Amino acid sequence: MGSKRVGQTQTINRKMIWTIGGGKGGSGKSFITANIGICLSKLGVRVVLIDADLGGANLHTFLGVSPPALSLPDFIKKRVSHLREVLIPTGIPNLQLLTGAQDLLNAADAKSVQKRKLVRSIQSLDSDTILVDLGAGNSLSVLDFFLMSDGGILVVTPEPTSIENTYRFLKSAFYRRLKQSVSSSSVKALIDGAMDRKNEMGIQNPHDLIKAARRMDEGDADRIIEEVETFHPNLILNQVRSKKDIEIGFSIRSACLKYFGIHLHYLGYVVYDQDVNNSIRRRRPLVLENSRSRAAQCVMEIASKLANHH
Ligand SMILES: Nc1ncnc2c1ncn2[C@@H]1O[C@H](COP(=O)(O)OP(=O)(O)OP(=O)(O)O)[C@@H](O)[C@H]1O
Ligand SMILES: [Mg+2]
């Protein structure tokens, strides 16, 4: 995290921080985070999984690990001196778990110094890839984490409700990013106004926004163009039941471009598969328990795409 942000071009051999969020409760974020983490670790990538779900942290269950005795608050409250001391071994080579990060997302803005410090500690961990399960929320903290990461991944299911939530999340994240990038207060107010589709200024898309911003501040208009061009979030479509469902990923991608000017990258889909439920009930990760299942194959394919970022 840091200078590089969602979707910017990746350089070889640098630590990647991916955040997984959006969609809706139960879309499969934790299942996908845990199993992609395992796939990457099997490819020789050193992975740390971070559970930052405010609602119900349960990543450990997907890994078959008991609720950990040590977690992030032990580091924040200085009961241990280094973040690596609260990393939980998972029994899987190259894969460690950090829980309790929901406390960080809960922290009020006053603690932003503490947040930045923690982000630096996370960056200093001895690993190649960090996957953060953000849960289903879209609080400002969650959006900020999503925007600070190198790659933000949204997990959506083919249901209209899940798709709606995804658009809402993306729009909020995108406008927050735009607002953070500009300096003039009138352009900031313009962006706030543009969030409302029925805004009186008639701003319907980034093109309209840029035109209106240019009348106020040339530099800010250029900054918005830069942000529009470099915001490349990723999408995973989960619980796909038909060929038609697979197409939904492409439709979301087109709609994002048309209505928001957002270049969404469709990373791939995961089929709906009863083996997923079976593996969760047995607390045995799908890609280990049943690597030949259709859902496991889909997850492996997506993981290998992420591995190419190293
Ligand atoms: N590809 C799939 N095939 C079948 N069932 C699935 C699939 N993906 C997820 N599920 C089911 O959906 C349930 C919810 O998955 P998961 O807990 O990963 O969602 P989540 O997005 O993390 O939810 P929350 O937002 O509540 O944290 C799982 O218990 C599993 O039964
Ligand atoms: Mg979850």
Position 310 pLDDT exceeds 70: no
**Ligand 1 pocket member 302 (CB < 6 A):** no
State whether the beta carbon of 270 lies less than 6 angstroms from ligand 1: yes
Q: List, for residues 209-242, the tens digit of each pLDDT value.
A: 999 999 999 999 999 999 999 999 999 999 999 9
pLDDT bin (cut points 50, 70, 90) of residue 24 is confident
Amino acid at 267: L
In whole angstroms, how large is the CA radius of gyration of the chain? 19
Separation of alpha carbons 55 and 262, rounded Å? 28
Report pLDDT for 109: 53
Q: Is the pLDDT of residue 111 over 80?
A: no
Which residue has a Cα nearest atom 31 of ligand 1? 277
| Local confidence band at 12 (pLDDT 50, 70, 90 cut-offs) | very low
Q: What's the half-sphere exposure (Cβ side, CA atoms, 13 Å) at 248? A: 25
Please, which residues bridge with residue 50 across strands?
98, 132
Q: Of the residues 20, 31, 99, 245, which should be mutated to test ligand 1's pocket, given the most ligand atoms within 8 Å of the CB?
A: 31
The letter for the amino acid at 61 is: T
Atom of ligand 1 nearest to the CA of 24: 25
Q: How far away, in angstroms, is 201 Cα from ligand 2 center? A: 39
d(Cα 221, Cα 214) in Å, to the nearest integer?
A: 5
Q: What is the dihedral of CA 280, 281, 286, 290, to 10 degrees?
A: -170
pLDDT bucket at 105, cuts 50 / 70 / 90: low
Q: 3-state DSSP: the chain helix, strand, coil percent, rounded to 5?
A: 50, 15, 35
Q: Closest residue (by CA) to atom 13 of ligand 1?
A: 26
Which band of pLDDT confidence, cut at 50, 70 and 90, is reported for residue 187?
Answer: very high
Cβ–ligand 1 distance for 136 under 6 Å, the answer yes
Q: In the predicted model, what is the mean pLDDT of the chain? A: 89
The pLDDT assigned to 7 comes to 47
Which tokens belong to 25? 């409760």
Centre of ligand 2 from the C-alpha of residue 24, in Å? 10
CATH code: domain 16-158+235-254+263-307 is 3.40.50.300
pLDDT of residue 238: 98
- The closest ligand to the CA of 156 turns out to be 1
Per the CB < 8 A criterion, the answer to whether 193 and 203 are in contact is yes
Residue 131 contacts residue 47 (beta carbons within 8 Å)? yes
C-beta of 158 in contact with ligand 1 (< 6 A): no
Of the candidates 194, 211, 191, which has an alpha carbon nearest to the alpha carbon of residue 203?
Answer: 194
Q: Is the pLDDT of residue 78 over 60?
A: yes
What pLDDT is attached to residue 88? Answer: 94
Å from CA of 226 to ligand 2 middle? 33
Quick: pLDDT tens for 127-150.
999 999 998 888 888 888 898 888
The arrangement of strands across the sheet holding 16-21 comes to 88-89, 95-98, 47-51, 129-133, 16-21, 151-156, 234-240, 265-271
Residue/partner pairs of 67-72 with CB below 8 Å, 24 or more apart: 67/99, 68/97, 68/99, 71/98, 71/99, 71/100, 72/98, 72/99, 72/100, 72/101, 72/103, 72/104, 72/118
Highest mean pLDDT among 5-14, 97-106, 151-160, 253-262 belongs to 151-160
Average pLDDT over residues 262-277: 97
Write the secondary structure of 240-303 as one string of H (helix), E (strand) and C (coil).
ECCHHHHHHHHHHHHHHHHHHCCCCEEEEEEECCHHHHHHHHCCCCHHHHCCCCHHHHHHHHHH
Instruction: Determine the distance separating the centroid of ligand 2 and the alpha carbon of 289, expressed in angstroms.
Output: 20
Higher pLDDT among residues 185 and 102, named by residue:
185
CA–centroid distance, 238 to ligand 1, in Å, is 9
241 lines ligand 1 (CB under 6 A): no
Instruction: Tell me the pLDDT band of 200, cut-offs 50, 70 and 90.
Output: confident
Residue closest via CA to ligand 1's atom 27 equals: 135
Quick one: pLDDT at residue 110? 41
The predicted-structure confidence for 50-69, as pLDDT tens digits, reads as follows 998 877 789 999 999 998 88
Region 183-206: what's the mean pLDDT?
Answer: 90
78 CA distance to ligand 1 middle (Å) = 34
**pLDDT value at residue 206:** 86
Q: From the CB of 22, is ligand 1 less than 6 Å away? A: no
Q: State if residue 30 touches ligand 1 by the CB under 6 angstroms criterion.
A: yes
d(CA 257, CA 103): 34
Work out the average pLDDT over 242-263: 94
